[in-house]
Structure 1
Amino acid sequence: MRKMQLCLIILLTVSLVFTGCGKSSTELQTVQVAEVTRSIFYAPQYVAVSEGFFAEEGLDVQITTAWGGDKTMTTLLSGGADIALVGSETSIYVYQQGTDDIVVNFAQLTQTDGTFLVARTPQPNFKWDDLKGSVFLGQRKGGMPQMVGEFVLKKHGIHPQQDLELIQNIDFGNIPNAFAGGTGEYVQLFEPQASIFEKEGIGHVIASFGAESGNIPYTSFMAKDSYIQKNKEVVQKFTNALYKAQKWVYEQPADVVAKSIAPFFEDTDLSLITSVVERYKAQQSYDTNPILDEAEWILLQDIIDEAGELQKRAEYSKLVDTSFAQKAMKK
Structure 2
Amino acid sequence: MSDSQNTTELQAQAIEATPQAETTTGPTSTQSIFEILFANEKATDELEEKIKDLLGSYITSKLSEIRETYFPIFLWDSSEISNFELDKIYEALAGNIDETGKPKLPVLLILKSPGGSIEPAYKISKICNSMAKEKFVVCIPREAKSAATLISLGATELHMGPLSELGPIDPQIGGLPALGLQDSLKYIASLVKEVPEAKDLFALYLNENFKMNYFGWTYRITESAVQYGTRLLSLNSKKTGITTGEAESIPHKLVMEYKDHSFVIDFTEAQNVFKNKIVQTGTKEIAVAEGLYSAISMLELALRFRWKKRMTLVGNPMNRSGIHLFNLTNK
TM-score when normalising by structure 2: 0.28
Q: Which has the higher contact order (CA 8 A, sep 6+)?
A: 1
